[in-house]
Amino acid sequence: MAAASDAGNGGLSIHPMDQFVVKPLFGDGPIGLFTITNATLWMALVVAAIAALLILGTRGRALVPTRVQSMAEMLYGFIHQMVTDVLGEDGVRFFPYIFTLFVFILFSNLMGLIPYSFTVTSHVAVTATLALVVFGTVIILGFIKQGTHFLGLFWPTSAPMALRPVLAVIEVISFFVRPVSHSIRLAGNMMAGHAVLKVFAAFVAPMSILGVLPLALMVAIVGLEVIVAIVQAYIFAILTVIYLRDAVHPMAH
Amino acid sequence: MEAEAATLLGKYIGAGMACTAMGGAGVGIGHVVGNYLSGALRNPAAAREQIATMFLGIAFAEALGIFGFLIALLLMFAV
């Protein structure tokens, strides 16, 4: 990070990566395990927002839903539909986990778009934790449900015998690369979008009257970022469901 | 000192070249969505069920671009 900021001395007054710095909320001390940082604050705000939406939404339980209630119901129904489509009716056991993941990622992505806020999911440390938990769940659940048959995932019996060792190597690599791509996809998308916004924001003031052009573009990019935030949360959730299907249903792929 | 400058030069050039992987991911994603759309316009009744499959295809195509991005990040900040 130091090399990048040295290179940009002449140009940008605000470095586009400054928004991702984790800093303690109180004082300037070193960050330990239990230091309350801006990341902690925004994670707590995300959880509070989710709790507020779902508790307020389900409190009335009216037959004709209010706006808040129908939002909560839409979220719930959407994920429920997705889980039962891929995992079948008995996959509903995993619904609470998938719903938690989806809603947490969706809300941190969307709340990260608020100016001066902090995007929790733009840090690989956060998304890698989520992805590694999914990865560990798939491995443990696979061995519990299928025993050693779970290793059949790496030995495609539908392929000709001569090809199988080659395919097994590819399958092993693609299995162990899953948590990497799963986590960096989300963090990379969030980080890149926010950095692009900051870079364009730095163009507005120096261009004086022509600055409306990058400003208009930024408005469009914010709209795109809202879509990206929703789609990335959806992709994270559906990939989780599909990885879980490998563990629960043998030979599904 | 010379060697250090050459290392830095190589790092930056390598990081830039690793980013070309994202172009490939862009082509791949465009291909997936374009084919989905042409299929969906031919048979709109079956389109809704395949949206999840389309996103899955996008995610897999994007993963390879992400590896290029990862190499670029590693070159810039880790190596």
- Condensed to tens digits (0 to 9), the pLDDT of residues A47-80 reads 999 999 999 988 888 888 888 899 999 999 999 9
How far away is chain B from the Cα of A103, in angstroms, using its nearest Cα? 18
Percentage of residues in chain A with pLDDT exceeding 70? 93
Residue in B with minimal Cα distance to A189: B66
- Cβ distance B55 to A238 less than 8 Å, yes or no, reads yes
Contact pairs from chain A to chain B, CB under 8 Å:
35
Q: What's the whole-model pTM score?
A: 0.84
Interface test with chain B among A178, A184, A246, by most B beta carbons within 10 Å: A184
For A250, residues 6+ apart whose C-beta sits below 8 A from its C-beta are A146, A149, A150, A152
Q: Is the pLDDT of residue A13 over 80?
A: no
How far away is chain A from the Cα of B42, in angstroms, using its nearest Cα? 24
Q: Is A45 on the interface with B (CB under 8 A)?
A: no
Interface test with chain A among B50, B60, B64, B66, by most A beta carbons within 10 Å: B66
Give the residue from B69, B8, B56, B50 showing the smallest Cα distance to B29.
B56
pLDDT score, position B51: 84
Residue A168, both tokens: 């097994």
Residue in B with minimal Cα distance to A181: B63
Residue in A with minimal Cα distance to B53: A238
For B30, residues 6+ apart whose C-beta sits below 8 A from its C-beta are none
Residue A88, by phi and psi: left (phi above 0), alpha (psi -120 to 50) or beta?
Answer: left
- Cβ distance A184 to B76 less than 8 Å, yes or no, reads no
Give the residue from A87, A111, A108, A110 showing the smallest Cα distance to A97.
A87
Each residue's pLDDT tens digit, A36-48:
888 999 999 999 9
In chain A, what residues touch B77 (CB-CB under 8 Å)? 1
Residue pair A17/A195 in contact by the 8 Å Cβ criterion:
yes
Residue pair A109/A169 in contact by the 8 Å Cβ criterion:
no
In chain B, what residues touch A181 (CB-CB under 8 Å)? 63, 66-67
Spatial distance between the Cα atoms of A130 and B51, rounded to a whole number of angstroms: 24
- Cβ distance A234 to B56 less than 8 Å, yes or no, reads no
pLDDT score, position A138: 93
- Cβ distance B52 to A239 less than 8 Å, yes or no, reads no
Spatial distance between the Cα atoms of A184 and A150, rounded to a whole number of angstroms: 26
- Cβ distance A3 to B76 less than 8 Å, yes or no, reads yes
Residue in A with minimal Cα distance to B70: A184
- What pairs with residue A37 in β-bridges? A24
What average pLDDT does range A168-193 have in this prediction? 90
- Highest mean pLDDT: which of A7-21, A152-166, A224-238? A224-238
- Residue B66 has its nearest CB partner, among A1, A82, A184, at A184
Longest dimension (CA), chain A: 68
**DSSP 8-state secondary structure symbol assigned to residue A163:** T
> What are A151-155's contacts with CB under 8 Å, separation 24+?
A152/A250, A152/A251, A153/A246
